[in-house]
Amino acid sequence: MNAVPFVRAILIAAPLGACVPGGATPPAQASETAARGATVGAAAPDFTLSATDGTSVHLKDLRGSTVVLEWFNPDCPFVRYAHDAEGPLADLGDTWNAKDGVVWLAINSGAEGKQGHGLERNQAARTEWSLDHAVLLDPAGTVGHAYGAKTTPQMVVIDAEGIVRYTGGLDDAPLGKAPGGAPTPYFAQALAAVVNGKPVATPSTKPYGCSVKY
């Protein structure tokens, strides 16, 4: 599927104010504490949330695994682009989730009645994109606020000891448009470094996308 007309159509159809895109900030300008409560180098805030399949996920139970948190809204054009056939998250989540020692969790912190909210809508999104990893519901926004989640998508990488090692955007290319031509995959690079026990070169970047619908 050609992603460009698809994205253009979504942006035209999206209601005014549905998305608040943020420009990609060079890593040197991004704060080391880009997500309040999810400070790089500090313990990740613990939480328990219900998944769309009815199971309950407790972060503490995942100690020993590398955990990825992806803030999620199935009706956000930036999320839809990322999960489309040619987007940066098309297969990344399920590929990593299938590897030993990695758990990928999408979190929807949208409030009741807001864009992309609700069990049925998020169950449908899992089917639409054939997602094998869990989608967790945080309608009160408690976990989103604890992590300082501002946009969808927004990414956090937590190491096996429960320490935040990356927080920020997928890359520097909102809707595939990078300032220098080729995107810099900051998140993917950070995840690979953590899995391989190496330091993360760029531990914090500015996220972009739609505002979280608290």
Per-residue pLDDT averaged across 177-193, rounded?
90
pLDDT in tens, 26-81: 333 333 334 455 899 999 999 999 999 999 999 999 999 999 999 999 999 999 99
pLDDT in tens, 122-148: 999 999 999 989 999 999 999 999 999
The CB-side HSE value for 18 (13 A sphere, CA atoms) comes to 19
Distance CA 46, CA 60 (A): 6
Q: Name the percent of the chain lying above pLDDT 70.
A: 83
pLDDT given for residue 129 in this prediction: 92
pTM of the model: 0.82
Position 47, amino acid? F
Inter-residue contact 167 to 155 (CB < 8 Å):
yes
The larger pLDDT score, comparing residue 163 to residue 12, is at 163
pLDDT given for residue 7 in this prediction: 36
Q: Which domains does the chain have, with CATH numbers?
A: 25-211 (3.40.30.10)
Q: Label residue 181 left, alpha or beta by phi (over 0 means left) and psi (-120 to 50 means alpha).
A: left
Return all residues near 198 (Cβ < 8 A) that are at least 6 apart: none
Give 155's strand partners: 70, 168
